[in-house]
Amino acid sequence: MRRAAVLGFPVAHSLSPKLHGYWLSHHRIEGTYEAIATAPQDLADTLARLADAGYEGCNLTLPHKEAALALMDDLDGSASAAGAVNTVHFENGKMEGYNSDGFGFIESLKAQGLGWQDATVMIVGAGGAARAIIHALSTAGARDFIIVNRTLEKAEQLARDLNIYADVRDWSGLSSALEKTGLLVNCTNLGMAGQDPLVLDLQRLNPLAGVADIVYKPLETDLLKSARKRGHKVATGLPMLIHQGRLGFKLWFGVDPEVTADLQFIMEQAAQ
Ligand code: NAP
């Protein structure tokens, strides 16, 4: 019986047990995936305890993703670039740290029919998710980035850390960057239930540009609603959450799990 878990604090809200539980049953794998509430000071001990008990690995959610970097024996390039670990694999007595957000985002773009290869990509935000996504997009061939963030220094630091060329702007440069943009991605908390919306007049956006939001609660943000109304292709945030889970499932249970229409429906219900 293979076992995996998600560690967070709090962790009750996590959608990961639903996601992995679906895949275990869909692929008829004898395994378990549980949520374990883990206070920050207990992270190292809990990881060691799970490894000793024969678990395959775990997901990490708030507040552990950054703290876990220092606890890993090996870091995949995805985790060091993102500066955060969200997937851990216990392998040959070692803890290997990965970050699957960038992979999840790219797979979600593919699944929703949005391209990035020849586009100027405008990323709004410069936090952990933006880091993971820019790293994944540049690894997957994107060359031309505009990064807009409320705190300019964080966007400048991100571009330096990832060693990419980017047109970096503060909030005042948001609207004027739209004309050059082929793919617009919201990587901030704006638009999330309980937060302010991302206020952005899309009039200057190239009609052929795609618009993606990684916020998944609500399932379709105001930004995506107005983009859809103007005829842009859009990508919602929940498929990223689903696809990012594939990496861990494959590492722990040996199968690249299927993203079925059923699963999407179940996750949409769970996310509301
Ligand atoms: P983070 O590291 O805390 O970064 C937050 C970003 O949002 C920063 O760029 C921050 O700007 C910006 N921001 C926050 N409040 C703002 C405001 N009032 N006005 C302007 N900018 C604001 O968070 P994260 O981990 O990157 O996550 C960002 C969002 O992505 C969250 O909503 C999260 O739920 C979502 N997410 C979704 C998935 C998925 O699978 N779909 C995965 C990961 C994250 P400053 O730098 O100026 O503070």
Distance (Å, whole) CA 155 – CA 175: 17
Q: Give the dihedral sign, CA 91/67/134/122.
A: positive
Do the beta carbons of residue 101 and residue 133 sit within 8 Å?
yes
By alpha-carbon position, which residue is closest to atom 39 of ligand 1? 241
Q: How far is the CA of 129 from the centre of ligand 1 (A)?
A: 7
Residue 195, beta-bridge partner list: none
Angle between helices 238-253 and 16-26 (to 10 degrees): 60
State how far the Cα of 50 lies from the Cα of 46, in Å rounded to an integer.
Answer: 6
- Ligand 1, atom 27: closest residue by C-alpha: 129
Name, in order, each residue with C-beta under 8 angstroms of 246's C-beta and a sequence gap of 6 or more: 100, 103, 104, 107, 256, 257, 259
- Output the CA 126–ligand 1 centroid distance in Å: 8
Query: Six-digit token pair at 75?
Result: 């870091």
**CB of 217 closer than 6 angstroms to any ligand 1 atom:** no
Report H helices in the chain.
Answer: 16-26, 43-52, 77-82, 101-111, 128-139, 152-162, 222-229, 238-253, 261-271
Residue nearest (by alpha carbon) to ligand 1 atom 40: 241
Closest atom of ligand 1 relative to the 238 alpha carbon = 41
pLDDT in tens, the chain (272 residues): 999 999 999 999 999 999 999 999 999 999 999 999 999 999 999 999 999 999 999 999 999 999 999 999 999 999 999 999 999 999 999 999 999 999 999 999 999 999 999 899 999 999 999 999 999 999 999 989 999 999 999 999 999 999 999 999 999 999 999 999 999 999 999 999 999 999 999 999 999 999 999 999 999 999 999 999 999 999 999 999 999 999 999 999 999 999 999 999 999 999 98
* pLDDT tens string 143-189: 899 999 999 999 999 999 999 999 999 999 999 999 999 999 999 99
Is 250 among the residues known to form the active site?
A: no
